[in-house]
Every structure is written in structure tokens, then in C-alpha cells.
Chains A and B, each alone.
Chain A
């Protein structure tokens, strides 16, 4: 089967590649374009570690048909820091020890980013709801929730 051409913006840069017709976005990002920000956990939509933003909305890259991203804006954790300056959410995750093994962190950061872009001052319940599709085996979630609430109050947290 012929491969299909695919172009989109990834973290602000135009990218082009060829994909198998039924490829998912996660494979395309990791194997095709070398963006290892989003991780492969389950391939089933249950762990959330592959969460990326597509036109600003959270999607599970493992379940997203790659060709459906033609012409769209994809954002991953690889594009969160601004040069040497971490994103306020990344800083807050460090300050609150919100990463232990760190495997869930890209998905948690992306889910939190989607939340704060729409709702800069979320309640605790809204934070819990926003990360409800993301599994963490290590932290017990409390440090992650605290980090997101702290980042919401930090200057510049709404920076996309």
C-alpha cells in the first residue's frame, strides 16, 4: 500500500513526512519525526501518556489517525520550554515533586496545559477531572494536583 504524504505544524515548525494509511499519530511523531515527548504506554487510550494537543485540544496520539492531522497544529511537551526557560507548569512539577519515575509526566503536563488554556483558575475538582484520563503509578496524584494548582497561580501560566 502506498504511503500517504502528511504535513502539519509541530511545536511551531512545519513538518512533512509519509505515513502508512492507518498509522496513528504517536508512531508518526516518535518514529517518523523523532519527537519522543509523547510516550507509548498502552496503545489503548487508557493511560494518557501519549496525550498531545491538536489545535489546542487534548487528544490521545495513540488513537488518532495520523492523516486526520493534515494541516493542523500539534503541540507536545518537547515544545513547552522556551529555550532555557521551563514552562511554569514544568517548574511547578519540579517544585512539587510531581514526577517520580516521570513516565506519566508528558501526558500530565499536556492535560494540565489544555486545562489552563481554557480555565486559568481551576478548582481542585476541575484539575482532578482534567487529569482523569491520565494514570500515574507512582505519586498518588496529590503532588501533581498541587503542582497544577500552583502553576495556575504563577505568572505566565497561561502562556500556551
Chain B
């Protein structure tokens, strides 16, 4: 039978998670409780965190820090995070968003993980705490490539720089059912312009690989170029580099590969979906 530990401090939770291989953190529970209800998760200990630091948001300055227990609804209620609202609104319906946390989204298997795609394009760092020590920040990309191996302990927060010009940050989720539907794929871009040219762009995809990934081919194609027709054409040609999409109930691998360059091109050209 499943047990539950309610931890009033982050370090207590981190200690349990690193000491007990059968311990599993429960954030909003939108994925964990599905497994409980389906009988897929029947043994071990659920670890719940009530430490206020887990839900803290520091959004006023140039460097933003969001506790891993912050929910999509909390992001949507914060005006300083307006550039992230499209990504937060992409997660389920309102009742899911009251519950779903940023931390849980970092672990959600494809085609889920839409918010994480936005964080990847923001070059976010993930603060990990294993055992009773203090946390250490690792790049989100490294965290995601290590994710399948598991056992990373507790994520306490995510950190990233506020985009200097929020208009240079874009997120799009492509789904068949509107307004709520699971991702065929999602795309986030941060394309800072300097003297009319794209400088150090970051582009990320969801549902195009087992975890959200960066689109390095696209980043290379755009870096240093004005965002014109020929740069967009080059970006579309490089769009599929590194992609390993799955065939699932939502779409086939073939379909995802076909539509990604189309939607990337529209996003870069500022055209509607």
C-alpha cells in the first residue's frame, strides 16, 4: 500500500527522496494520481511538500525564480510573467492548471511538457537538491538529457533571465482540438534582435523527441541573420535536425515531421497558426 509523508521543509523532502528509492514526490498530482487511480502505482511513499518556499515566486527583477511547486494558474495570475502566459494556458483546462506545477511539467513524458519547452527557450536553470545539502543549479537541457536515468532528487525551483524584450519571445502549441488538446508539437523561440539581426537565438520543441529539445540547426540558421525570407527558409530546412518524434495516439512520427517546418515557418514569419 502507498504511504504518504508530508514535509514542512524542502530539505526534509530531499532527504527522503534521496534515501528511499520507493519515494516519489507528488506536486500537483495530475500525473501521479492518474497512476494511483489506475493501479499502476501501489507501493512506496508519496512525498508532499508544504514548505512555502516551494511555491515562492520572485518575478520583479531581471532574474526570475519560480518555486517548483508554483502552478500554471499562479503563473497566469502574475502580470510580470505575461510572456509565459501562452505556455501556461496551453496546459489542460482551468482545473488542471489550478493543480499542475512547473516541477511536474519538467518530468512529464512527451507529448506533455509544454511549459518546459518555453523554459528551454529561456535558457532556464533547474535547482536540484539531493539529500540535506543545499541546492545546485544545472542547465535545463542537461537536466532533461539525464531525466530518463531518474533519481535526480528534488527540484526546488527554476531560474531564468527575463527576456529584455518580451515581444521577442514566442510560444505556440499545435493541437487538433481547440481550445484544449494534447500537443501534436509545441515550439518556443527567443529571438533577440541586435542591429536588425538575430543574436544568440534559442529555439525549443516539445513532442519532437522523448523530452523537450533545442533546435540547434534552426538556431545556427538564424544566428546573425536578419529575420527575412531567406533566413526563414534556411531555418525550415534545418528544422528537423535532432528530432526523434514518437508515433502515438495524437499523431504519427511522419505527420509530426511533416508539419513541424510549416508551423516553425509561420511562427518565424509572424503569421497566424
Contact = CB atoms under 8 A, between A and B. Distances in A.
Contact of A65 (B48, B73, B94, B180): B48
B94 A111 contact: yes
Interface in A101-117: 111, 114-115
B111 to A, nearest CB: 14
A78 B38 CA distance: 27
Given A44-B34, A44-B37, A65 B95 contact: no
**For chain B, what secondary structure do more than half of its interface residues adopt (helix, strand, loop), or is it mixed?**
mixed
B96 interface: yes
Chain A interface bracket (under 10, 10 to 19, 20 to 34, 35 or more): 20 to 34
A24 interface: yes
Given A51-B95, A111-B94, A63 B34 contact: yes
B196 interface: no
B2 A48 contact: no
Given A63-B34, A115-B94, 14 more contacts: A21-B3, A43-B38, A44-B37, A45-B96, A57-B73, A60-B95, A60-B99, A62-B37, A63-B33, A64-B29, A111-B93, A132-B179, A133-B95, A134-B93
24 contacts: A1-B3, A20-B1, A22-B1, A43-B34, A43-B38, A44-B37, A45-B33, A45-B92, A51-B95, A58-B95, A60-B95, A60-B96, A60-B99, A62-B33, A63-B29, A63-B37, A64-B29, A65-B4, A67-B4, A67-B6, A68-B48, A132-B94, A132-B179, A132-B180
Interface of B: 1-4, 6, 26, 28-30, 33-34, 36-38, 46, 48, 73, 92-96, 98-99, 179-180
